[in-house]
């Protein structure tokens, strides 16, 4: 009786964690190890793993023009998006941190794109910037200007893709920045005021240095999210014109499902995963220090 009770008492916590752990295990942990395994093999979706090839997939990456260009595009995209996101979200946080009615409403407005799905964001921006049908060219034409090939010119397409991504993310980081600003003690500003420091000096000497941990956190989070970018671009340009806006995740998808090369795609996934892991560990170290 008592033995049975003790036994069941020991088992109970495991029963409670079982369902969640099962789903985790089957759909996250297991696929992760599979993915790593596949990257050392050659195979297809139909035949399965056919041959152990060691590091061949990885060696092939170094010579693969499509992969390298998607990697380069991804880095350029990440740098552009992250720097703009950090700048804009900080500016918004500074402008809208007050608890007034107007600021509160504006915060809601600037946050709103965050809750839209990336597909909806892509459709909305495509509807604005479509070359022959979009409202922006409509306005330009009616003012006597010639239409701009927003989504079919390499440079314009890249710019629109970056802006759409920034638009969708900024509100999220604005909220984090406001949280960071609120931790700065107001006595510091009062003291600076007494010492005759103007608001520009206060920004550079108090706000920015004390906000540094938040800024770093926002930078890393935005970097992680930008490396994963896929859906907005898929809808806006489908990676085009040519491959001008095709990023890493789209390249992985196309390698796996369009070119039916899941093992080679797995090697690319491992590269992406390593980058994200490094960034996440960095982020965790910062949040722990906080």
Partner 1 sequence: MFTTGLRQSTKIQTRLRRYLREGLVLLLAFFFLIPVIWVVLSSFKPNAELFLIPPSVLPKEPTLENYQSALTVGNFANYTWNSFFVATMSTLIALLTNSMAAFALAKYRFVGRQALFLLTLATIMIPLQVIMVPIFLVLRNLGLTDTLWGIIIPPAATPTGVFLLRQYMLSIPDEILESARIDGASEWAIYWRIILPLSIPALATLAIFSFTWRWNDFIWPFIVISSEQNATLQLALARLVGQFGVDWSTLLAATTITLLPMLIVFLLLQRYFLGNLMAGSVKG
Taking CB under 8 A as the criterion, which residues in 25-44 touch partner 1? 26-32, 34-35, 38
d(CA 285, CA 168): 27
Regarding 87 and contact with partner 1 (CB under 8 A), the answer is no
* Residues in contact with partner 1, shown as a per-residue x/- string from 146 to 185 under the rule CB under 8 A: ---------------------x----x--xx--x------
Residue owning tokens 């306005």: 139
Size of the site for partner 1 (CB under 8 A): 89
134 φ/ψ angles, rounded to the nearest 5 degrees: -70, 155
Regarding 288 and contact with partner 1 (CB under 8 A), the answer is no
Q: At what angle do helices 154-181 and 118-129 cross, to 10 degrees?
A: 130
The least distance separating partner 1 from the CB of residue 1, rounded to whole angstroms, comes to: 15
Spatial CB neighbours of 280, under 8 Å, sequence gap ≥ 6: 224
d(CA 237, CA 243): 10
109 φ/ψ angles, rounded to the nearest 5 degrees: -60, -45
Q: Which of residues 178-237 bind partner 1 (CB under 8 A)?
A: 179, 217, 221, 224-225, 228, 230-231, 234-235
Regarding 259 and contact with partner 1 (CB under 8 A), the answer is no
Q: With respect to partner 1, which residue has the nearer C-beta, 14 or 51?
A: 14
Q: With respect to partner 1, which residue has the nearer C-beta, 119 or 205?
A: 119
Report the run of H or E that residue 120 belongs to, with start and end. Answer: helix 118-129
Candidate residues 53, 67, 78, 107; the one interacting with partner 1 per rule CB under 8 A: 107
Spatial CB neighbours of 247, under 8 Å, sequence gap ≥ 6: 70, 73, 74, 77, 229, 230, 233, 239
Report the run of H or E that residue 8 belongs to, with start and end. Answer: helix 2-24
Regarding 82 and contact with partner 1 (CB under 8 A), the answer is no
Q: Which stretch in 22-30, 66-74, 152-160, 190-198 sits in contact with partner 1 by CB under 8 A?
A: 22-30
Q: Are strands 48-52 and 41-44 parallel, antiparallel or unpaired?
A: antiparallel
Candidate residues 79, 112, 212, 259; the one interacting with partner 1 per rule CB under 8 A: 112
The least distance separating partner 1 from the CB of residue 120, rounded to whole angstroms, comes to: 5
CB atoms < 10 A from the CB of 105, how many?
Answer: 11
Q: With respect to partner 1, which residue has the nearer C-beta, 67 or 205?
A: 67
Q: Which stretch in 53-61, 66-74, 197-205, 250-258 sits in contact with partner 1 by CB under 8 A?
A: 250-258
Contact (Cβ atoms closer than 8 angstroms) between residue 174 and residue 166: no
Strand partners, 5: none
Residue owning tokens 């500074």: 94
Regarding 101 and contact with partner 1 (CB under 8 A), the answer is yes
Q: Which stretch in 78-86, 121-129, 149-157, 188-196 sits in contact with partner 1 by CB under 8 A?
A: 121-129
Candidate residues 2, 4, 5, 10; the one interacting with partner 1 per rule CB under 8 A: 10
d(CA 55, CA 58): 5
Q: Which stretch in 51-59, 149-157, 187-195, 273-281 sits in contact with partner 1 by CB under 8 A?
A: 273-281
Q: Which of residues 126-145 bind partner 1 (CB under 8 A)?
A: 126-128, 133, 135, 138-139, 141-142
């Amino acid at each position: 009786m008592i033995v049975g009770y003790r036994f069941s008492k020991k088992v109970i916590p495991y029963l409670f964690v079982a369902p969640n752990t099962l789903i985790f295990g089957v759909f996250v942990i297991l696929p992760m190890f599979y993915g790593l395994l596949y990257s050392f093999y050659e195979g297809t979706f139909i035949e399965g793993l056919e041959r152990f090839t060691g590091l061949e997939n990885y060696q092939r990456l170094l010579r693969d023009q499509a992969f390298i260009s998607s990697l380069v595009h991804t880095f350029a995209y990440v740098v552009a998006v992250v720097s703009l996101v950090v700048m804009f979200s900080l500016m918004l946080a500074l402008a809208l941190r007050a608890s007034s009615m107007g600021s509160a409403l504006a915060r809601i407005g600037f946050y709103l794109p965050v809750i839209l799905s990336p597909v909806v964001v892509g459709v909305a921006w495509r509807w604005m910037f479509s070359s022959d049908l979009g409202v922006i060219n409509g306005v330009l034409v009616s003012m006597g200007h010639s239409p701009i090939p927003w989504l079919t010119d390499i440079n314009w397409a890249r710019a629109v893709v970056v802006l759409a991504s920034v638009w969708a993310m900024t509100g999220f980081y604005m909220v984090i920045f406001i949280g960071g600003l609120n931790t700065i003690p107001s006595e510091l500003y009062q003291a600076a005021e007494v010492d005759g420091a103007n608001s520009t000096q206060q920004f550079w000497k108090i706000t920015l240095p004390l906000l540094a941990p938040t800024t770093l956190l926002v930078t890393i989070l935005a970097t992680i999210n930008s490396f994963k970018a896929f859906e907005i671009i898929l809808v806006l340009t489908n990676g085009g014109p040519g491959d001008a806006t095709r990023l890493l995740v789209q390249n992985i998808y196309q390698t796996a499902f369009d070119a039916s090369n899941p093992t080679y795609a797995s090697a690319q996934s491992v590269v992406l995963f390593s980058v994200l892991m490094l960034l996440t560990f960095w982020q965790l170290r910062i949040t722990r220090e906080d």
